[in-house]
Amino acid sequence: MTRFAPAWLAVAAALAGCGYHISGQGDLMPKSIHTIAVTPMNSTRYQLARLLPADITRELIAHTKYKLIDDPAQADAVLSGRVVSFSNFPTLFDQASGRATSVEVVVTLQITLTERSSGKTLFTRPNMEVRERYQISTNPQQYFDESGTAIMRLSKDVAQSVVSAILENF
């Protein structure tokens, strides 16, 4: 076993200098950023306007070291955004009745993280598109509106994507 020790040391030394890191662990934010405020999102969809900031805030708390505060005037960085467009359309139809059985929701967002003191844009996604699908029962007695839960899933997906992109600065 000891004859393999030099080989392992060589591999470890090579990996140490190659820039390799575990995904989601990058932190390319300026060292001056300690607090972030997530502002309300402008949207004509009440549910999205309410869910997006809360989900992004939860995701930032869960996966970063930054302190989240309510007052943008006191934060080191401010994350703002708006829903540019919201559309939904049927994607599958029941052959017998012609009724839609699957609907896809497409949301386009503008997201920006700005350093408050300098006004410098740290991160931006001017046309972030997110999609979510949900099913519709063809039986009227079993109908349950799944659009609300689809919006909730979509909001969580957006939050994960935004925080991951900010951390990796892609």
Mean pLDDT on 115-134:
90
pTM above 0.85, yes or no: no
Predicted local confidence at residue 144, as pLDDT:
53
Average pLDDT over residues 60-71: 94
**Mean per-residue pLDDT, 145-156:** 78
Instruction: Catalogue all structural domains in the chain, each as residue range(s) with its CATH number.
Output: 32-168 (3.30.160.150)
Q: Which of 105, 158, 153, 148 is nearest to 128 (CA)?
A: 158
Report the distance separating Cα 115 and Cα 78, nearest Å: 7
Q: Is the pLDDT of residue 131 over 50?
A: yes
At 52, which helix (H) or strand (E)? helix 46-63
Give the dihedral of Cα atoms 152, 132, 156, 141; nearest 10 deg. 30
* Band of pLDDT at residue 21, cut at 50, 70 and 90: very low
